[in-house]
A and B are shown apart, each in its own frame.
Chain A
Amino acid sequence: MNPQTLELVHGPGAERAMEPAPPPALSVAGLTVSYGEKPAIFSVDAAFEAGAMTAIVGPNGAGKSTLLKAALGLVPRVSGDVTAFGRPVDAARDRIAFVPQRASVDWDFPATVFDVVAMGLYRRTGLVGRLTGALKASVRDALDRVGMAEFASRQIGQLSGGQQQRVFLARALAQNADLYLLDEPFAGVDAATERAIIDVLAALKAEGRSIVAVHHDLGTVASYFDHVLLINVRKIAEGPVTTAFTPDALQAAYGGRLTAETLGALGQAG
């Protein structure tokens, strides 16, 4: 592990305040992605602060997932620069854990819960290295953190939607990364799983790690996250939830799609 990592994990807040501000965990500049000739996101600048928990919020088709995927290089970008912890994203991949949408894979794949979480360690085992006892223990530890330890030998197709989402989160945890990028982690999961996931994310933040999640439920943005990026193809607002998650910004992002009531309720909550 490089020294920067250790500092982020263990450095107490007081000590960090005296140092120059750390580079953002993830930063995109002028990011543009298009499917065909219609831009999915257009010239978005955004910086996701290290040690923060940021929600990417916007209406359907606003390019929330596309932003994450383009930052990771999963979809080709027309233009834009991406850095993670101040370095090109390719040089920082070992510090980034990605949790894709649950619906993006075929769950009938021949793998057990244990197998999927062990995929998080493939970079460490290499091609032919054995999955040693210590690595197996870290798989079990990751499963324990999401409350899935008893399901280790279950075939993944036999799990409920919420359990599948927990397995994906456990695979990311096994990586022991510094930045967690989650694509719709709460989509179609039960209330207990939502609670379990948010607890894990809060614990990661408490360890000084950074979290960025695409999020759909405007009602829980303020209680789950401390930072927010509002987009609708273009960036609408970004910053701490208290200052950026305003009724005006929401109105700008969603247009007429939010009722005055919703906006009022959110304004009070925020």
Chain B
Amino acid sequence: MSAFLDALFLGAGYNAALVAIGAALLGFAGGAAGTFLYLRKRALVSDAVAHATLPGIGLAFIVMVGSGGDGRSLLGLLLGSAVSAWLGLLAVQWLTRRTRLNEDAAIGAVLSVFFGAGVVVLTIIQTMASGRQAGLEGFLLGTTAGMLFSDAVLIAVGGAVTVLVTWVLRRPMTLVAFDPDYAAARGYNISAIDLAMMGLVMAVTVIGLKIVGLILIVALLIIPPVTARFWTERADRVLWIAGAIGGVSGYVGATLSASAPDLPTGPIIVLVAAVLFVFSLLFAPARGIAGAMLRRRGFARRVHRRQGLLALARSEPIHDAYTLRVLVAEGLIRADGVATDVGRAAAARIARDERRWDVARRLHRDTAQAGRYDGLTPIEEVFTPDEIAAFDAEIGGPVPAGGA
């Protein structure tokens, strides 16, 4: 535990601190760029893009070694991965547009073919004299051992540029995700905006190869926006909340993995994000499962309360056990089913409300207000006092005792 706290406050050594900061920036960029991928419902394309990086990594290594270089320069490897990821993306788009394949089939085809090609290239490199210590398989699941300061700078700069471009393009990307026809009618170039969005996704994928690896990077693009969606109903807030969730996941995940030997960084980051997701799924107030259950119970309770009081007002017997429990719990009837004074007053009020609604629906036929009758909303919340007075005049007779 103290090892984790040390790491959390960047006290676990130079390398661990670099990784933690890099992972936080990467997570933020992933959440932000992934937001529009999620809103455009193209989440899985990023998986094809990520897997398509592998042959590029291998070929870049071969080219760098062939031209007398080190072969392990992160910048060079990432440039190679970007080129093949871009080709993979174009392949998905071409298959979707020009053939009868759907996007899911195109994704499956491109993902497996590029990944297979990458594995073959890596195997060839293993047989090369200079290839044995390349450690290229570390890009599959990420590796943080021996991360250099220059690597961290590369991730930081790449992440910052990605977030900045995402912010600048947020309006056209929101518009295209919500209503592409309207966006096109206003003169936005849909395919250029989609390409820019995928370019941002590719940038996150490439700079995330070192820490998280190509197999799991899709999680950093998808889990944060999906989690953020539980907490807000506005796209621009999804963007920032997703960034924050990604950043926290990256930072906490990296420090957790640094606090114990042999804990893999990338998978731990993804698991931290998953914990935040499950928590949001359960407990987010508006869209979470617990909130929905509470609201449904509250609604059922209000329905039973209303029906029970209406039965009291009409002196009808109540048989429903739940209705009886609700009325007893609120002190509206005694345990033997006889109405209390409070219960009689409430019943009279509800009965009057029903009568007023009857008149309101007759007088305000076809208006928006009368349409709001749901049997539960008190009429005072819908109509003004003078309108209600008009209903009472229509009902006639003495106003029932009890007061409003």
A residues adjacent to B (C-beta < 8 A)? 69, 72-74, 90, 93, 96, 98, 100, 104-106, 109-112, 115-116, 119, 122-123, 125, 127-128, 155, 171, 181, 190-192
Given contacts A109-B177, A122-B171, contact A74 B184 (CB under 8 A): yes
Q: Which chain B residue lies CB-closest to A162? A: B368
CA distance A119 to B170 in the complex (A): 12
Contacts of B367 in A (CB 8 A): 192
Interchain nearest-CB distance for B195 vs A (Å): 16
Scan residues 211-233 of chain B and give those whose CB is less than 8 A from a CB of chain A. 229, 232-233
Contact of A123 among B184, B186, B233 (CB under 8 A): B186
Given contacts A122-B171, A192-B367, A192-B368, contact A115 B234 (CB under 8 A): yes
Interchain nearest-CB distance for A206 vs B (Å): 24
Question: SS class of chain A's interface: helix, strand, loop or mixed?
Answer: mixed
Interchain nearest-CB distance for A166 vs B (Å): 11
Are B186's CB and A122's CB within 8 A? yes
CB<8 Å pairs between A and B, sample of 17: A73-B184, A74-B181, A74-B184, A74-B185, A90-B187, A93-B187, A100-B179, A109-B39, A109-B178, A111-B174, A119-B174, A119-B175, A119-B178, A119-B179, A122-B186, A123-B187, A127-B171
Are B366's CB and A105's CB within 8 A? no
Asked if B404 lies at the interface with its beta carbon under 8 angstroms from chain A, I say no
CA distance A125 to B237 in the complex (A): 19
Are A110's CB and B181's CB within 8 A? no
Given contacts A119-B179, A122-B172, A191-B366, contact A110 B185 (CB under 8 A): no
Q: Which chain A residue lies CB-closest to B170? A: A127
Are A192's CB and B366's CB within 8 A? yes
Name which of A72, A110, A123, A192 has the most chain B CB atoms within 10 A of its CB: A110
Contacts of A128 in B (CB 8 A): 167-168
Given contacts A110-B229, A111-B233, A122-B171, contact A93 B185 (CB under 8 A): yes
Asked if B161 lies at the interface with its beta carbon under 8 angstroms from chain A, I say no
Contact of A98 among B185, B233, B237, B371 (CB under 8 A): B185
Contacts of A127 in B (CB 8 A): 168-169, 171-172
Q: Which chain B residue lies CB-closest to A196? A: B368
Interchain nearest-CB distance for B99 vs A (Å): 14
CA distance A190 to B371 in the complex (A): 11
Contacts of B229 in A (CB 8 A): 110
